[in-house]
Structure 1
Amino acid sequence: MCGLLGLLTPDGTAGTAVDLLSTASHCMRHRGPDEPGTWHDDDLVFGFNRLSIIDIEHSHQPLRWGPPEQPDRYALVFNGEIYNYLELREQLRRDDGAQFATEGDGEAIVAAFHHWGPAAVGHLRGMFAFAIWDTVDRSLFLARDPFGIKPMFLATGPGGTAFGSEKKSLLELTGRLGVGDDLDPRAIEHYTVLQYVPEPETLHAAIRRLESGCHATVRPGEEPRIERYFTPTFPVRPFPTTRIRSGATDDASQARYEEIADVLSDSVAKHMRADVTVGSFLSGGIDSTAIAALAIRHNPDLITFTTGFERQGYSEVDVAVESAEAIGAKHIVKVVGPDEFIAAIPEIVWYLDDPVADPALVPLYFVAKEARKHVKVVLSGEGADELFGGYTIYKEPLSLRGFDRLPTALRRLAGRVSDRIPEGVRGKSLLHRGSLTLEERYYGNARSFDDARLRAVLRDYRPEWTHTDVTAPLYAMSDGLDPVARMQHIDLFTWLRGDILVKADKMTMANSLELRVPFLDPEVFKVAETLPFDEKIAHGTTKYALRQALEKIVPPHVLHRRKLGFPVPIRHWLAGTEMFDWAHETIEHSQTDHILNKNAIVEMLNEHREGITDNSRRLWTLLMFMVWHGIFVEKSIVPDIRDQTYPVRL
C-alpha cells in the first residue's frame, strides 16, 4: 500500500524534474511513510512512498525487474495488494520460467506483464493502481483494479503526462505540464447533484482519473490510449409482473449459498496475507461482521474497531460490541463528539483531494486513526450491497411494477397529479416516482438537489449537465437487464467508486492504514453476478442469498438486522449549537459567490434550524465544497497536517 507519482516527458528531460517530483510526492507522504524513493531515466521519473506490508525487507520501490537477458528492463511503482501473488509467481515459474529476487507481489505484476502483456491485469486478484515503464519499448503501462478500490489521477499537457495516487501531487506539476488549474463547472454541478465527483472527472479541468477496470498505454509525446478491460455483467432475466417468490430454498439455491460462503471465506483468507498485523472494522451490520467472523479463523487475536456518537440513535457501538464478544474478538471503540468532528473537517477535506459530501467519512477518519495505533492493515465490508443487492431502494421496482404496465401518457398524468398533492401527504412520492422511468428516477444512492433547488444555488446551472449526463451511458450498457440488476450496475459505476471507495481509501491512507475489502474480489463477483433478483430482494429483505449463506458464520442478532447505513447526527448538529454557527461562518467567509448563491444557502440553513425543511444533506454538500474551495483555490484555509514539512501550497 503506497503512494505513487510519475512524469513521462516528451523530450527526454525527465532528469530535470526529479527534485520537483520528490517535492510533489511528499504531498502524499501519509500514504507511505516507511520508505520514500525516486527513480528516473531520460524519459520518465517515478516518485514513491511505501507503506511496507509484504516482504518488508526486500520489495523496495520503484522496483526493477526483467528476464535474465534484460534484468532491469522494467520499472514498477505499485499501490495496492495482489492477493493471489503466490499462485501467480508459481504459475509464472512453471509455465514461463520466470525468476524472482524478492518474496513480494510487485514482481508478480511485472513478470505477468512481461509474459502476458496487458492481459495480465485479468489475472490479478487484488486492489491496485500501478505503472510499468518498459525501458526497451519506451512505453508506459498504467492500470487500475476492476472496481476502483485504488485511485489513479492523470494529467497531460505539452510538458508530458503525469499520473499519481493523489490529485494534490499532480497540482504541484501543472506548471511543468503546461496546463492550468481552472475548475470544471460541469464537475461542480455533478458533485452538487450526486454528492461526489463521478469518474473520470475531478473538480480541476486538467486532471482526470483513470477509470476503474481500465488500463492505459502512453509513449513520450503522445496522449494516453485508454482501454476498458473489465465491465461488470449480470445475466438477462425476466422481471416479475405480479409477485416475487417467497424466498423458499431449493437445491440449486442451497448450492449457491454454499458457493457464496466458500468463495467469501477464500477471499478473506487471501486478504489476510501480510507480514504485519491485520485487524478489522466492525459496525452493526452483516457485512463487516461476516468479514470479521471469517478473519478470526486465521487470526485468533483479531482486534476489531468501531466508532459512534454519544447522541442516542446515532451509534451502532452496542451492536458491534455484542458482535465482537460473539465471535471472540478484542474490540476497541472510538466515540466522536461534535467539536472534534468540526475541527477535523479541513484536514479531512485536504486528504480527500475532491469533496465527498458523505458525513460518514468523518467518523471513518477517526476510527482509522484509532486502528493505526494497533494495526497496519484492516479488513472492511465495502461492496457487499452493490454485489448482493443490499440497498433498500433496490426493492422499489417491485412496488412500482404496476406503473410499468401503464401507457406513457397515464404515467405522466400520475406525475402531474403528484405535483398538486401537498408535501407530506401519503402517496405523493409513490405517484411521482411511478410516473418516471427507471432511467429518470434512479441515479444512485444519493441525490441532494432536485432541478429547482439546483437552479437556486448554482450560478452556472445547466440542466444538460445533471444526472443523466453521467448515467445515460451506463444505462445504455445495461439495456435488457432486470431493473434490480440495472440499479446495481449504476451503483457499481457511480456510488461505489465515487463515494464508498473514495472515502475508504482516503480516510484510511490519511492515517497510513491499509484497508482491504474482501467482498470486492473478482472471484466473489463471479458468484454474485449469477444471482437472480429474487435471491437479492426476496422474503421482504435485502441481500437474501448472502444472509442465507452466512447463517452459520455471523451471530443471529446481526443476520437479519435491517440495514441502517452509518448514522451521523448532522441533521441535529446543523440545527443546534453544535454546528449552526460553524456552518454560518463557513458560508459567510467562503469566496465562492461566483459559483454559489450564498443568500439562498443561508436561507436553507435558517429553514433547517427552524425545522421547516430537513436541508442537512444539501447543506453538507455545499459546506464541503466551500471548505474544499478554501483549501485548494482560495488558500484561506490551512489544514493542521501532522507532518509540517508538507509543501506550502496546502
Structure 2
Amino acid sequence: MCGLLGFISADESASRFTTAVENALPCMHHRGPDDSGSWNDDSVVFGFNRLSIIDIEHSHQPLQWGPEDEPNRYALTFNGEIYNYVELRQELKAAGYSFNTEGDGETIVVGYHHWGIDVVKHLRGMFGFGVWDSKEKKLFIARDQFGIKPMYIATANAGTVFASEKKCILSMADALGLSKDLDIRALAHYTDLQYVPEPESLHTAIRRLESGSYAIITPGQAPQQQRWFEPSFPVKKVSAGNEEAVFQRIAEALEDSVAKHMRADVTVGSFLSGGIDSTAIATLAKRHNPNLLTFTTGFEREGYSEVDVAAESAAAIGAEHIVKVVSPEEYADAVPKIMWYLDDPVADPSLVPLYFVAAEARKHVKVVLSGEGADELFGGYTIYKEPLSLAPFDKVPSPIKRVLSTVGDALPDGVRGKSLLQRGTMTMEERYYGNARSFNYEQLERVLRHIRPEWDHREVTAPIYAKSRNMDPVARMQHLDMFTWLRGDILVKADKITMANSLELRVPFLDKVVFDAAESLPVDMKISHGTTKYALRKAMERIVPAHVLHRKKLGFPVPMRHWLAGDELYGWAKKIIEESQTDDLINKTEVLKMLEEHRVAMNSGSGPDHSRRLWTIIAFMIWYGIFVEERIDPKIDRHDYPVEL
C-alpha cells in the first residue's frame, strides 16, 4: 500500500519536472512513510512513497524491469496489493521470465510484457498503477475493477500527471499551468449525493480514472481511456435441491479470498463491528492468524455503538479485541484533518470513528481486513426489498398509475400511504438514486447559489441505468450502487482514512472470485425469508457466531442528529457556517435557518431532521476553508511508524 505520482511530458522534457514531483511527494507521506523515491527519463517522471508490506527489504519503487535482451525497458509505480502474485509468478516463470524481487508489484510489469493491457484481467487485488514502456514510448495506467485504490489524472500543455492523491497534483498546478478553479457542477452533485461522483473532482482540471478502467498515454496526446470491467449480474436460476451447492461455493470463495488477503510480511488484524460482514472476515482470518487482533469503535451515547456485540463476537472466535470510544470533542477536532486527507469532501459522519479506530489499530498492526462490498455483491441493503413490495404496481395500467401518482402527491406529508403511492408509480430510474441523497432539487435551489435543473442526481445515475436495462430490479440497484455509493463513499473513506494513519485496509469481499460467486445469484438468493443477503447468511452459518447471523446492519453509527442540536456540536457548527467564506456559493442564511429548525425539532420531538443536509454543507465548508481559503489549519501529523510492525 503506497502513494504514487507520475508525469508524462508532452515534449520529452520530463526532467524539468523532477523537482516538482519530488516536492509533491510529502503531500502523501502518510501513504508510504517507510520509503520514498523518484525516477525519470526524458519522457516520464515517477515518484513514490512506500508502506512496506510484502518483500520489505526489496521491491523498492519506482521499479525497473525488462527481458534479457531489453533490460530496464519498463518502469513501474504501483499502489495496492496483488493477492494472487505467487500464482502469477509461477505462471510467468513457466513461460520463461525471471524476477528480481519477491514482491507482488513485479508481477504487474512482467505480466504487462507478457499479456499487454490484458494483464489487468489476470490481477486479483486492489491497485492503481502506471507502467512506462520506454521502447514503445507508451504509458499504461490502470485501476482495479471495484475502485478500491484511487487514481487522479490531469492534463495540461506540459503533459499529463496522475497520482494517488489529488493534493499532489494541486501542489504541482502552478508548475504545470493547471487551473485550480472549482467545478460548480461537481459541487451540485456532491451536495445532492454526499460525495463527488466519479470521474469528477471538485477541481475542473482534475478528474479521476474510473474504477475498472485504464488509460493509454503517449507524449503530446490526450489520455485514451477504456473500461476493462463491467459487471453484468447474469442471473442463473437455482433449481430445487441445488441451493447447498450455491452456499458452498460462496463459502469456499470467501475462505479462499481471506486466505489470499492474509498474505503479508507484517501482522494483519481485522476491523470488527456487530454485523455479519466483518464478523465473517474476522472469523476466517483467525484461522490464519491464531493471535488475531480485532478493532472496533463506538460512542458513549446509547444506541450508537456496537462495541458490546463486537466484543461478544471477538470472544466467540477467540480474538483479542481492542475498542476506541470517541467523544464529541475528539470528533469535532478531527474533522478538518480528515477533510484534508480525503482530497474532496465526503459527507459521511462514519468517517470520523473510522479515523480513530484506524489510528488505534495502527498502534498494533500494519494491515487490517474489513467487510466492505458485501452489501453490493450479495444484496444487503434493506432498500433492495423495495422492488418486491412494489411489484403489484407493475400490473397497474399506465393511465391509472398517473392518477395514483397525482393522488399521492396531493396527500399531506405524513399521511399513511403517501410514500407508497408516490414510489409505486415511479420508474426505477426515478425513485432509486443510490444509498445517499441529502437534498432534493427544491432544497438545492434554496441552498446553492449556482444550480441548474440538469445537475440533479439523474445526470449521474442515467448513464449507469442505461447499462442495466436487462437486469432484474434488485440487480439494477446493486449495479447502480457499485458505480455510485460503493466507489464514491465507502471505498473512498476506506482508502483515504486508513491511509491517513499509514494503515493498509484490505477488503476480501471485493475480490474477483467472490464476485464470480455472487453476480449470478437470483433475487430469492438475495432477498428472501424476510432478510437480506440470504445466500451469504446461509453460507456463513457454519462460520459466523449465531448471535450475529440475523442482526440488523448498523456499521459505525454516529449520533449526529443529537449532537448538532445539543451542546456537543451546535455551537461548533454555527461558528463554522458563520465564518465560512462560501457566500458566493452557498446561501448561508438558509443553512443557519436549517440549523435552528433542526435544533428545535430534536429538542421538541417534532419537526424536520436536517442533520444529513447540515453535515453535507459543513463538511464542504471545512474542505473549502482548507483548500481554497487556506484559512483552516488541518493540523496534519507526520507519522514515523517502525517498519517491524
**Fold shared, TM-score > 0.5 on shorter chain:** yes
Amino acid at match of 1:638: D
Whole-angstrom CA distance in 2 between matches of 1:11 and 1:174: 18
Match of 2:632 among 611, 615, 637: 637
Report whether the alignment pairs 1:460 with 2:450.
yes
Task: Tell whether the 8 Å contact from 1:413 to 1:435 is kept in structure 2 after alignment.
Answer: no
Superposed displacement of residue 21, structure 1 = 0.6
Q: Hey, what does 2:562 align to over in structure 1?
A: 572
Other structure's SS at 1:154 match: strand
Other structure's SS at 1:538 match: coil
Other structure's SS at 2:548 match: helix
* Structure 1 runs, 4 residues or longer, greater than 6 Å off: none
Superposed displacement of residue 36, structure 1 = 0.8
Amino acid at match of 2:611: S
Whole-angstrom CA distance in 2 between matches of 1:345 and 1:88: 42
Whole-angstrom CA distance in 1 between matches of 2:397 and 2:163: 51
Task: Tell whether the 8 Å contact from 2:195 to 2:345 is kept in structure 1 after alignment.
Answer: yes
Report whether the alignment pairs 1:225 with 2:220.
no
Shift in CA distance, 565/330, structure 1 to aligned 2, threshold 3 Å: closer
Whole-angstrom CA distance in 2 between matches of 1:409 and 1:25: 61
Whole-angstrom CA distance in 1 between matches of 2:535 and 2:458: 32
Report whether the alignment pairs 1:409 with 2:380.
no
Q: Hey, what does 2:80 align to over in structure 1?
A: 80
- Superposed counterparts of 1:418-497, under 5 Å: 418-497=408-487
Amino acid at match of 2:434: G
Superposed displacement of residue 578, structure 1 = 0.4
- Superposed counterparts of 1:51-62, under 5 Å: 51-62=51-62
Superposed displacement of residue 237, structure 1 = 7.2
Amino acid at match of 1:596: I
Amino acid at match of 2:490: I
Q: Hey, what does 2:190 align to over in structure 1?
A: 191
- Superposed counterparts of 1:341-420, under 5 Å: 341-420=331-410
Q: Hey, what does 1:13 align to over in structure 2?
A: 13
Whole-angstrom CA distance in 2 between matches of 1:424 and 1:161: 53
Deviations 1:84-106 (A, max 9, x none): 00000000011x20100110011
Whole-angstrom CA distance in 1 between matches of 2:402 and 2:368: 49
Task: Tell whether the 8 Å contact from 1:237 to 1:481 is kept in structure 2 after alignment.
Answer: no
- Superposed counterparts of 1:579-618, under 5 Å: 579-611=569-601, 612-618=607-613
Deviations 1:514-554 (A, max 9, x none): 00000000010001001101100000100000000000000
Task: Tell whether the 8 Å contact from 2:152 to 2:209 is kept in structure 1 after alignment.
Answer: yes
Deviations 1:598-624 (A, max 9, x none): 111111100000002100000000100
Task: Tell whether the 8 Å contact from 1:412 to 1:436 is kept in structure 2 after alignment.
Answer: no
Other structure's SS at 1:395 match: helix
Whole-angstrom CA distance in 2 between matches of 1:491 and 1:48: 32
Whole-angstrom CA distance in 2 between matches of 1:93 and 1:643: 41
Report whether the alignment pairs 1:251 with 2:241.
yes
CA RMSD, Structure 1 to Structure 2 (Å) = 1.3
Amino acid at match of 1:353: D
Superposed displacement of residue 411, structure 1 = 2.2
Task: Tell whether the 8 Å contact from 2:235 to 2:519 is kept in structure 1 after alignment.
Answer: no
Match of 1:620 among 600, 603, 615: 615
Superposed displacement of residue 644, structure 1 = 10
Task: Tell whether the 8 Å contact from 1:302 to 1:330 is kept in structure 2 after alignment.
Answer: yes
Superposed displacement of residue 562, structure 1 = 1.6
Whole-angstrom CA distance in 2 between matches of 1:257 and 1:482: 21
Amino acid at match of 2:80: G
Shift in CA distance, 530/644, structure 1 to aligned 2, threshold 3 Å: closer
Q: Report the identity percentage.
A: 66
Task: Tell whether the 8 Å contact from 1:236 to 1:480 is kept in structure 2 after alignment.
Answer: no
Whole-angstrom CA distance in 2 between matches of 1:168 and 1:162: 12
Q: Hey, what does 2:551 align to over in structure 1?
A: 561
Amino acid at match of 1:634: E
Task: Tell whether the 8 Å contact from 1:8 to 1:160 is kept in structure 2 after alignment.
Answer: yes
Deviations 1:415-440 (A, max 9, x none): 32222322222212111211211000
What TM-score do the two structures reach when normalised by structure 2? Answer: 0.97
What TM-score do the two structures reach when normalised by structure 1? Answer: 0.96
Q: Hey, what does 2:315 align to over in structure 1?
A: 325
Superposed displacement of residue 443, structure 1 = 1.1
Q: Hey, what does 1:140 align to over in structure 2?
A: 139
Whole-angstrom CA distance in 1 between matches of 2:37 and 2:46: 8
Whole-angstrom CA distance in 1 between matches of 2:150 and 2:638: 22
Whole-angstrom CA distance in 2 between matches of 1:126 and 1:498: 19
Other structure's SS at 1:140 match: strand
Whole-angstrom CA distance in 2 between matches of 1:484 and 1:451: 26
Report whether the alignment pairs 1:534 with 2:524.
yes
Q: Hey, what does 1:648 align to over in structure 2?
A: none
Q: Hey, what does 2:301 align to over in structure 1?
A: 311
Q: Hey, what does 1:163 align to over in structure 2?
A: 162
Superposed displacement of residue 251, structure 1 = 2.5
> Which consecutive unaligned segments of at least 5 residues does structure 2 have?
602-606, 641-645
Task: Tell whether the 8 Å contact from 2:236 to 2:520 is kept in structure 1 after alignment.
Answer: no
Other structure's SS at 1:558 match: coil
